[in-house]
Amino acid sequence: MNQRAAVVQGVGGAVPARHVANAELAARLDTSDEWIRGRLGIGARHVAADVSTVDLATEAGGRALEMAGFGALDTVVLATSTPDRLCPASAPEVAARLGHAGIAAFDVNAVCAGFVHALATGNALIRGHMADRVLVIGADVFTTLVDPADRLTASIFGDGGGALVLRAGSPDEPGALRAFDLGSDGTQVGTVEVPGGGARDRLGLPVANRRPYLVMDGPAVFQRAVREMTGSSRRVLARAGWDPAAVDRFTPHQANIRIIRGVAEQLGIPAARVVTNIEHVGNTVAASIPLALADAHDAGRLQAGQRVLVTSIGAGLAWGSAVFTWPALDGKARL
């Protein structure tokens, strides 16, 4: 039995300064505050104007490292589907800006499920003795992929970054990562996609359309999201030997409030145990789960020893869930 575990030691979050309330969208698109709040549970989001994924990842990661009190770091794993450049990955630049040029640093792309995949990667590196200290970040400026004329996706997405610091420890410590469940269904690649701008488009191969903007089948996403997040949550809970009733804080991907409520209801987790910040930040893609954890920590909603379930799904389709206990952490995760 492997007695080594990856343990959470810090949390951080960051959002761009520009705040876009629903009223601003309603002034230029055929939508309303009432529709967006009622259908999606979103009141406002932050939109990147003069900051990029690397900036947000560096700020969130830096705050998490400061909380952890680490001088040394082995690896940065950055979940993003909006890297600053098409090539290379953004993680090496983040590591360098944080003063860690020379360490392993790479991106993971599983879109809205990216953070859980990155967390699983950090967990595996630590448990496999390939690293002792890993910074796991989720950051996206997904509004750069939103068609400004599309009222649905313009209402849903916001930009941000979130991070957890992991260190080697033991499975019985508060903060220990306990179990994971990851999955995908590439037969549904067209359900949420940016068809233009990729290698197929550059090669002149057929693509659904050449515009470099997100297209989404909303109702199909809704149905699959509830189904897969519920199923994945059940599997990861079974692996940990936890009953859904044992979950103290359920922190799902902040896709939209009706999806979140649907999954919580199917799992039988009471609303008081569900962590959400979607009303203020929208769907921030790979940043969504760590940013929600950062905000919950700052609001005093996460206490040492509480059992946490996180679950996510996004384009791919790809999904992932994890369970862990929350550690004792001091300091603010966000400015």
Q: Which residues of 151-178 are buried (b: 16+ CB within 10 A; e: fewer)?
A: bbbbbbbbbbbbbbbbbbbebeebbbbb
Map 88-116 to HEC letters: CCCHHHHHHHCCCCCCEEEEECCHHHHHH
Mask: binding to ligand UT7, 294-333, rule CB under 6 A, as x and -?
A: --------------------x-------------------
In this chain, which stretch among 113-121, 212-220, 230-238, 316-324 interacts with ligand UT7, using CB under 6 A?
A: 212-220
Map 10-22 to HEC letters: EEEEECCCCEEEH
70 touches ligand UT7 (CB under 6 A)? no
Residues 6+ apart with CB under 8 A from 305: 174, 325, 326
Number of other residues whose CB lies within 10 A of the CB of residue 45 = 30
Closer residue to ligand UT7 in complex, CB, 75/254:
254
Closer residue to ligand UT7 in complex, CB, 110/221:
221
Map 151-201 to HEC letters: HHHHHHECCEEEEEEEEEECCCCCCEEEEEEEEECHHHCCCEECCCCCHHH
Closer residue to ligand UT7 in complex, CB, 114/314:
314
Min dist. Cβ of residue 216 to ligand UT7 (A):
6
- Of residues 22, 253, 256, 297, which has the active-site annotation? 253
232 touches ligand UT7 (CB under 6 A)? no
113 touches ligand UT7 (CB under 6 A)? no
40 vs 32: CA distance, rounded Å? 12
Of 89, 96, 152, 215, the one binding ligand UT7 (CB under 6 A) is: 152
The reply to whether 280 belongs to the active site is no
The reply to whether 100 belongs to the active site is no
- Of residues 109, 277, 283, 297, which has the active-site annotation? 283
> Are 84 and 53 contacting, i.e. CB atoms less than 8 angstroms apart?
yes
Of 35, 70, 106, 242, the one binding ligand UT7 (CB under 6 A) is: 35
261 touches ligand UT7 (CB under 6 A)? no
Query: Which chain residues interact with ligand UT7 by CB under 6 A?
Result: 31, 35-36, 39, 112, 151-152, 155-156, 216, 218-219, 221-222, 255-256, 259, 283, 314
- Catalytic sites, residue numbers: 112, 253, 283
